[in-house]
Amino acid sequence: MKLNPDYSVPLYIQLKEHLQTQIESGVYAAGTRLPSERQLAEDFNLSRMTARQAMQLLSQDGLTQSRVGKGTYVRHRRIDQELRILTGFTEDMQRQGLRSSSRILIANVAQANKEAASWLGLEPGAEVVILNRVRFADDEPLAIENATINHQLCPNILNGHDFGQDSLYHVLREEYGCQLVWADQTIQARLPSKSERRLLQIGQYDPVLSMLRVTFIAQDQPIEFVNSVYRGSHYRFRAVLRQSNP
C-alpha cells in the first residue's frame, strides 16, 4: 500500500489506519511484533517522526504495547471480567478462550506472617502454604499472584501437583472438598514496582491493578489470602449496580 501525501488526511493517520486494518484483519495477530519505526519509515517513504506518531496513536487506542528493549507488539484483546462471580485465573482465561499457564516463583509450607494470619483467622506462625506465581494467557504474562493458604484445610496440597499447570481452585474443590463460597476483594490502580515490571514485561509508567482477596469456604471460614498484581491494560471489570429500595 502507498500513502497519499495529497490526501486531506495526514500521513501519520493514514499509516495508523493502515496498520489498524492489518491488526483487525489478523495480518498482525495478537502478540505479533510490529515493524519498527525505522522499518515503517523506509517502507512507506516517511520520516521517522511520522511513523512514531502513527505508532503512538495505535498505543493510545489500546491496540499495541511497547516492551522495553523488545519493540512494539499487538495487544491481546481486553479481558472482560464480571465482579459478581467467584472464579480463579484458570477459569477466567477459559471463559475468554485463552490458554492459561503459570511460572512458579515460590511453593512451600511456611509460618504465617502477622498480616496473613490476621486475614486467615490464624495465630501468627501457624502453618500456611505460600504459592507465588506469574500467570500467563497464551504465553503472555498477565498477573502476579501471591497466595497464602491455610494448610490445615488442605494438608500436603503441594505434593503431587504441578501448579504451573494445575488450577488451585479446582484442586481445593475436587480433592479437599473445599467449596469456595464467597470472597472479599479490593482493587486499586497504581504504577508497578521494578520487580513487577520485570515479571510482567511492562514499562515504568504502565498501570497495574493491585488486588487483595480473601476467599471463604462454608461457615465463613477464610481459606486463602491473595495479593495480586494484574496488567491494567489487559483488564476491564464490569459490575451491575441497582438502586437500593428506599
Task: Give me the mean pLDDT over the 77-101 stretch.
Answer: 81
Same fold, 11-74 and 79-238: no
Q: Which residue has the cell 480473601?
A: 214
Distance CA 195, CA 220 (A): 34
Mean pLDDT across the chain, nearest whole number? Answer: 89
pLDDT at site 236: 75
Structure confidence by residue, pLDDT tens digits, 217-227: 999 999 999 99
Q: pLDDT > 70: what percent of the chain?
A: 97
Enumerate the domain spans of the chain.
11-74, 79-238
Q: Whose CA is closest to 209, among 238, 223, 230?
A: 230
pLDDT at site 223: 98
pLDDT at site 77: 66
pLDDT reading at 167 higher than 70? yes
**Exposure string over 141-164, b if 16+ CB within 10 A, otherwise e:** bbbbbbbbbbbebbeebbeebebe
pLDDT at site 112: 96
> What's the CATH fold of domain 79-238?
Chorismate lyase (3.40.1410)
Strand 79-82 relative to strand 64-67, pairing? unpaired
Class of domain 11-74: mainly alpha
